[in-house]
Chains A and B, each alone.
Chain A
Amino acid sequence: MWDAGRVRDVRDWLGPGDLTHWKARAIYQTLTGLDRAGRSVPITELPAVIAAGTYHDSRPGAVTAVDLHTYLRATPATPAASAQFPARLVHSNHVVYARRVLEAAARDIVAAAGSRIHAATQRSRERPDLGASAIQAALAQTQQRLRELRRRLRHAQGPPGSLITAALDGPLPADAPLLEPAGIWPGPPGSPLSTRVVIEAEREVLTACLTNPTVRAELLEWLSPGDFSRPEHAATWAAFNTLTEAGTPLDYVTLAWECERHHPDYDSPGLPPDQLATMAAHTPGISGPAVRTVAHASLLRHTDAAREQVQVISEDRGADALTVVSAAEKAYQQVAEHAHRLSSTTTTSAVRRARAALEGIDTPPGAPPRWATPAPTPPPTESPQRDHWRGR
């Protein structure tokens, strides 16, 4: 509707029947009909043309100016977005959207023809477990204790479970050097890591990545879907990854489609389109504490999972002591790898670079990060109607 000429890019392969919702279909039929008739109609007169019903098969007058306004407001890369960010070249993703609409229609057509069609499982992800009880320092000490235990086991007697329990709970050997935690966090998370704090931090990170490509590029390098506590957040993050790897233009529309594709893998369709639309309307920004909270909470979950795993291993009375200790060491080694990734200097430098890019400033290497207060969030604008979405 913003540029009627765009319909020529898609009309040869996208039919009106591919659009599920009758309002969208009526608008598309009108736009293609006008173009074929060689008529050019200003957008202000479009409601009257659609209401006349000359070019579509829906009831005349059923599509109102309010409907058109809703569609225009809900579409990314509109002139409004261009006015908001005048320095940026605003692209239209209409071909990308049309391709997705066709794909959705093709799925239905194939199914209607009596054939089976399923989204392929694209990847699996590690499932974060619940709870948190230890962090990196404890992890380092645990690994030390296990190494010490392995040394002593060669001479010890008793069931492996009791030996492991004693080793993990007892004091460190006097001659063992104390390992410092990586401690790269610029500071502890601003508030206790309650479930709500973690969820809000995850949403803030997702919002920042949706609204700012620079932030997204930086954070995608080190956060994985398993770092998010909620399945819908993990699925959304996986969708970010997939779209970026495929080089697909990323906005809340393409993200919502990709989330839908990940449904079989993540036990969640990701965040729903209306929530993504609301997030997309936020001012681009990134908060350091939010990023740290996500990483911190992820580490806690992984550590807790390893602790539970060790508990199970230690209760296995059929295994010999050295085997059990080796398995325990392996469990904590996996946590150590997560900890290394999440607490590496990349964590802070990535966000620092993202903030610098956002604010147009150069941050010298090694300079302490300056965590600004998150940008004020404007009230969300009208989100798209859910019935615009196939299958939602």
Chain B
Amino acid sequence: MLARTADHLYWMSRFIERAECLARMLDAHYRHSLLPHTADVLARDWRATLASLGVLDLYLARHGTLQPDTAFDFLAFDREHAGSIVSCWRSARENARAVRGTITSEMWETLNSTWLEIRQYESDHADHDSGDFLEWVRYRAHLSRGVTLGTMLRDEAFRFTRIGTFIEGADATARMLLARAHGSPGPSDDAAGPDAYGWTLLLRSLSAFEVYRKVYRDAVTPRRVTELLVLRDDLPRSLGRCTSEIYQNLREVANDQSAETERRAGSLYSEFHFGRLEQLLAPGLQSFLYGFLAQVHDLGDRIAQDFLVPPVLI
């Protein structure tokens, strides 16, 4: 297929996934903020979230101090901020429009109508509950995923769409863990430790709380949550699952120059598939996560080079 088409598909699905992950992250925040907290704790949480997304400095430069409402708008509605939910959907829709002939018409209609409705939310979001909006974003993400899986031919176009989704998903889950891990040396086995509720919320925002109960039938401890979100490759948003999907889909689209990218993706996947948590976390949870993010970033760059914007050969 056309390299530019693959590029649009890849970014379309990355932006859809990014919007969904932002909504999940903000949802965890939102629920947390409903608990009794001091203003300090709330500000610290926002700081951790913004830092894990890599936009803390940008936020502070624009807004000065950390105000929950301002921070929420910055991540949800701010059109000037390329990383907000609204901006992500706008980019997703622009990419989709560029390949509307390649995706199915049901997909296009779903993405387009989501964008039209977002504009409604935008114009009167003061009247809406934040929770409503976040739930709606998640619902639209489910719909987008459903229409993709339910209507798209399993061809190259589909593979690039999936690669985009899981590159972004791997990145997002790692960042959500990072936000939770901020300031703590490593995940403990203590169910009643500080922030115990925060770990439960993390599970909920990744739709993994019920899964956790099913797998462990026990109290929520930071260590087990980490294990679940990192290693379990049967959990849709775990790092293990995402790396496995990236590798499998890359193999389907391999070309003459992509062998090294494939090798790196495979090596990353096997670390999760065959590795042990203690081994992976030896350098500390935060260092591990930063290392992982760098590897995902490297894969993203290599995919772009090998497939999406191939060098001009004349």
Partners in one complex: no
Residues of B bordering A, CB below 8 Å: none
Residues of A bordering B, CB below 8 Å: none
